[in-house]
Structure 1
Amino acid sequence: MHGWSTRRAAERFQCSPATAAKWAARYRAGLAMSDLSSRPHTTPTRTSARLERRIINLRVTRRWGPHRISYHLGVPRSTVGRVLGRYRMPLLAHLDQATGRVVRRPHPVRYERTRPGELAHMDIKKLGRIPAGGGHRMLGRTAGNRNNKRTRPGYAFLHHVVDDHSRYTYSEILNDEKASTVIEFWRRAVAAFTDIGITIEAVMTDQGSAYRSRAFAAELGTTRHLWTQPYRPQTNGKVERFNRTLAAEWAYATTYLSEEDRAATYPDWLHFYNHHRPHTGIGGAVPASRVHNLTGNYS
């Protein structure tokens, strides 16, 4: 091809004359005959290294999703997603929630009712009370067990009703899980949902004795009662997810020196969950935004 013009060479290799001239100049200069990266030498608008470290730290230590990290740090969701992708962080669905290790699992099929009140999920979370002076999760086994033996605090029972469509939750901390307690709680929950414009048409529970009682069936009246599959807590997945969230973000999120201290913060945390905390299951929205009677009524 010696002596060919740039245009003739371009015609032979089916490229533009500008491209042929570029390659010829690169050959004459002794540069590598391979494509160079189109990445700019500097990126002034790139996320700072400090912010990237904060994003990765929250992902690793808290195992939060992009929406939760975005809300906590006050940065766009897309920025968090790019940082997680840049560092090849595994999906939360591929992590073991207890250890944080990567364990690939198939994605479950997510279902959702089309309107508030069409289905509510009801459950009881049994939670060890914090002894006076603090528990073992924050103080260690030695000090925590000493406090526990001295005061013997027992257990608290968190009763929940979660709306399937909006994820709006009514919850109380009570002393037991007897049928009479469940019935009284159900009445207060129904009244609370009615106040925000939700009429509960059906409720799903597990096979607990209180839920199987005749008194509870009579209290439900015309409200349909659906049951979870035995040994399959995934059937009641939305309320189980709420249990996991409250454990990570409220029950064991900080050091409490007594059960009273922790219980006193629950109403505020529950309000935050319903009105301010973004929920990945509903596209990063907050539960209250899906309850038409509440839209715009919270700050």
Structure 2
Amino acid sequence: MTHANAPLTELGRLRLARCVVDDGWPLRRAAERFQVSVSTAWRWASRYRVDGPAGMTDRSSRPLTSPNRTCARLERRIVKVRLDRRWGPARIAYLLDLTPSTVHRVLRRYRLARLRHLDRATGAPIRRYEHPAPGDLVHVDIKKLGNIPDGGGHRVHGRQIGDRNSQRTPTAKRNAYRNPLLGYGFLHNAVDDHSRLAYTEILPDETQHTAVAFWQRAQKYFHSNGITVVRVLTDNGSCYRSRLWRDTLTTAGISHKRTRPYRPQTNGKVERFNRTLLEEWAYARPYNSEAERRAALPRWLHTYNHHRGHTALNGLPPASRVPNLSGQYI
């Protein structure tokens, strides 16, 4: 690719070189004719004598030798630490007394994958997949979330005021030491693998009956949007290992798959949705009560499904992959 400020294209260089070499023009006359310096005219004429027309292309500006390049022994140490400990450039630099930019250049030179593209447990590249159609696989998971006291919690006001608000919350139960127990909300989430369409409810527990009732409502939601669920993927929680859950899916003709123990990456799409849910809804702004936060969930969920750009969908919302999301074809 020719430099943006280069006065000559490859064809112009070839014409200049032919004028000097083939037609015998003086270098100064050729330089004036093509409006370049004499040294430039000499360079292209010299390359034409050696390589012919092929020598008119741009060459790399990389020097033939790099005296200050990191030695091979130190590069091997950097690569070994990266593979053994899976550290980033900054931590490797502190260990080996280098600068992070030097370590980063070495890692790029050896084409080592970024840490976010690796499985931290094994060091193997993460295998990403996506089923071809909505409903081929739905990820289901539960996220436990602490309730907010009336007046706001410690995340907003600090520990002292947050504890005081907890004491004053009328709905809070008390333990044997008269300490308030605000309890938890359980976010039951279902995310379609292909479209990332999400359905969420906040429920009081994670028992098998609650999980089954949630799934029945989630299935109706997906069906109302033209999605027929074929498979469901969950972790190995007790509610998902129950006979009630198994029989419910079997009756609906749905195949149930579970992740390997201690491998949440397998259910990564809903795990990533949990993180998004916390960052953009649960902890996105200071709520004065749990009721206020829960009231904001439906609107946020609508924004997520219809308007929020998804990086895995090239900046489009999940609605772009669900033609019947508005229900107009039923």
TM-score scaled by structure 2? Answer: 0.60
Q: Write the distance in 2 (CA, Å) between the matches of 1:259 and 1:282.
A: 32
Cα deviation, residue 16, structure 1: 6.6
| Alignment match, 1:64 | none
Q: How many residues align?
A: 214
Cα deviation, residue 223, structure 1: 0.7
The 5-angstrom pairing of residues 135-174 of structure 1 reads 135-151=153-169, 152-174=181-203
| Alignment match, 2:142 | 124
Q: Write the distance in 2 (CA, Å) between the matches of 1:225 and 1:261.
A: 36
| Alignment match, 1:253 | 284
For the pair 1:290 / 2:321, whether they are aligned, the reply is yes
Which secondary structure state, in structure 2, belongs to the residue aligned with residue 131 of structure 1? coil
Which secondary structure state, in structure 2, belongs to the residue aligned with residue 124 of structure 1? strand
| Alignment match, 2:261 | 230
> Cα distance 1:295–1:189, how it changes in 2: closer, same or farther (>3 A)?
closer
Q: Write the distance in 1 (CA, Å) between the matches of 2:115 and 2:32.
A: 46
For the pair 1:217 / 2:235, whether they are aligned, the reply is no
For the pair 1:197 / 2:226, whether they are aligned, the reply is yes
| Alignment match, 1:266 | 297
Do the aligned partners of 1:127 and 1:156 also contact (CA within 8 Å) in 2? yes
**Cα RMSD after superposing both structures:** 2.7
For the pair 1:18 / 2:72, whether they are aligned, the reply is no
Q: Write the distance in 2 (CA, Å) between the matches of 1:132 and 1:119.
A: 39
| Alignment match, 1:178 | 207
Q: Which ranges of structure 1 fall in alignment gaps of 5 or more residues?
A: 1-6, 25-92, 96-104
Do the aligned partners of 2:225 and 2:327 also contact (CA within 8 Å) in 1? no
Q: Which ranges of structure 2 fall in alignment gaps of 5 or more residues?
A: 1-24, 42-113, 117-122, 170-180
Cα deviation, residue 20, structure 1: 2.2
Any idea what the Cα deviations from partners look like across 1:212-241, whole Å, max 9, x if unmatched? 000110000121111112111111000001
> Cα distance 1:16–1:282, how it changes in 2: closer, same or farther (>3 A)?
farther
The 5-angstrom pairing of residues 27-176 of structure 1 reads 108-151=126-169, 152-176=181-205
| Alignment match, 2:17 | none
Cα deviation, residue 9, structure 1: 2.3
Do the aligned partners of 1:289 and 1:295 also contact (CA within 8 Å) in 2? no
Any idea what the Cα deviations from partners look like across 1:90-110, whole Å, max 9, x if unmatched? xxx768xxxxxxxxx986332
Cα deviation, residue 292, structure 1: 1.7
Do the aligned partners of 2:154 and 2:160 also contact (CA within 8 Å) in 1? yes
Q: Which has the higher contact order (CA 8 A, sep 6+)?
A: 1
TM-score scaled by structure 1? Answer: 0.66
Rg: which structure is higher? Answer: 2
Cα deviation, residue 22, structure 1: 9.5
Alignment identity in percent?
53
> Cα distance 1:145–1:10, how it changes in 2: closer, same or farther (>3 A)?
farther
| Alignment match, 2:75 | none
What one-letter code is carried by the residue in structure 1 that aligns with 2:272?
R
Do the aligned partners of 2:224 and 2:327 also contact (CA within 8 Å) in 1? no
Q: Write the distance in 1 (CA, Å) between the matches of 2:309 and 2:246.
A: 35
